[in-house]
Amino acid sequence: MAHEKVWDSCFLSDPEAGVYVSFHLPGHDGKAISLEQTADLAQRYGFVLPGEIRNSPQDIRVEEYPDYMYPTYQEGVSLDQMRDVFKGRNGLVVLSGAMFDLLQKFNLGATRLKAIPFRETDQATPVDGRWYFLHFRENRNCLVPEKSTGVEPTPNGHRWRIETDNKYRLCVDPSVAGELDLWRDSRATDVIFLSDRLKEAIDGAGLVIKGDSKFRECLID
């Protein structure tokens, strides 16, 4: 049965949702990671593959996931900056152990979660805590742009940019998401969609998404 209520969050486009942590990629011990490699990973992550967008890049394999994270700058990062959901370098999303535990009770479909240790700036000393890399892999064409407000087509015409102010309101067709509780639509940049039951569980558990973005109820088509 289709969801009767769906919520969206545009925290992926919120600069306040970021934390200065970088990610170490497998196979690069003792070697610098090129800007081209990090940009490639970020681009593929942002497309929420598999997608139905012309010339979209290849999906990210599990073997390519970051194996740990560390503060980008020498002054480090305090744990109270990190919250239960935040963005690290290049927009990669990290969850707290508490958020991970909550998500185990919901239908994530093909979306993957991988434990990602946090280390000090020396990239060797472990920091206490559980953290998880979130790889969105459920792409559903749920956005109904012609019935939404505050959306504009990107220059190539294949995606929609959300004007993240107090006036935007997204309209969605929840039937394409089935029983999923968390998904994205690759045509809608920097937006995640949640079922009402997941949104209520996050609020009820007192879990916090870093930044100023709030959940917003979608219109149902």
Tokens of 82: 């990190």
Q: Point out which residues pair with 151 in neighbouring strands.
A: 162
Residue 51: pLDDT above 60?
Answer: no
Beta bridge partners of 93: 87, 134
12 burial (CB, 10 Å; 0-12 / 13-18 / 19+) is buried
Residue 52 has pLDDT above 60, yes or no: no
Q: What is the pLDDT of residue 49?
A: 64
3-state secondary structure of 174: helix
pLDDT of residue 31: 63
Integer distance in angstroms from the first to the last C-alpha of the chain?
14
Separation CA 106–CA 103 (nearest Å): 5
Whether residue 70 contacts residue 88, with contact meaning beta carbons closer than 8 Å, is answered with: no
Q: Which residue has the higher pLDDT, 182 or 59?
A: 182
Find the length of the chain. Answer: 221
pLDDT tens-digit readout, 16-47: 999 999 999 887 775 667 777 778 888 888 77
| Both tokens assigned to 181 | 């509780």
Q: Which residues contact 176 (CB under 8 A, 6 or more apart)?
A: 140, 141, 142
pLDDT digit string (tens) for 144-200? 999 999 999 988 777 899 987 768 999 999 999 999 999 999 889 889 999 999 999
Pairing status of strand 21-24 against strand 118-119: unpaired
How far from chain centre, in Å, is Cα 84? 12
Question: Is the predicted pLDDT of residue 4 greater than 80, yes or no?
Answer: yes
Q: Is the pLDDT of residue 122 over 80?
A: yes
Contact 93, 85 (CB under 8 A): yes
In DSSP terms, 24 is beta-bridged to 68
